[in-house]
Amino acid sequence: MNLHASAKARAILQRLNDRLHDATVYHHFRSGVHEFVVRYAGFRFMFHFPEQALLRRGIGEIEQAATQIVERIRLSSKAEPAAPSAQMG
């Protein structure tokens, strides 16, 4: 795991935790991919960032992507009835 990519993954994790107070957020790294799983409002959201994508993007772009993910999670959890699993990728 590259340290620069790891720092960017931590920024995503921090943004998710800061903006989704009632969520449980997991981060896993395997086979060159950073996987995030968010449990929020009865839904399960998953999204992935290949390590190379994190390395190519600046921290501002990463934070913007994390903000967009938070918005999508909030909108999806309000627009649909509670289900055991929903996936975002």
Distance CA(38)–CA(14), nearest Å, equals: 12
Q: What integer pLDDT is reported at residue 3 of this predicted model?
A: 85
Distance CA(65)–CA(12), nearest Å, equals: 8
User: What are the boundaries of each domain within the chain?
Assistant: 3-79
pLDDT band at residue 80, thresholds of 50, 70 and 90?
A: low
pLDDT tens per residue across span 34-53: 999 999 999 999 999 999 99
Q: What integer pLDDT is reported at residue 12 of this predicted model?
A: 94
Output the six-digit token pair for 84: 């055991």
Q: What integer pLDDT is reported at residue 48 of this predicted model?
A: 94
Q: What angle do the packed helices 3-19 and 59-79 form, to 10 degrees? A: 40
Which DSSP letter does residue 80 get? S
pLDDT tens per residue across span 1-14: 688 899 999 999 99
Q: Mean pLDDT in the chain?
A: 87
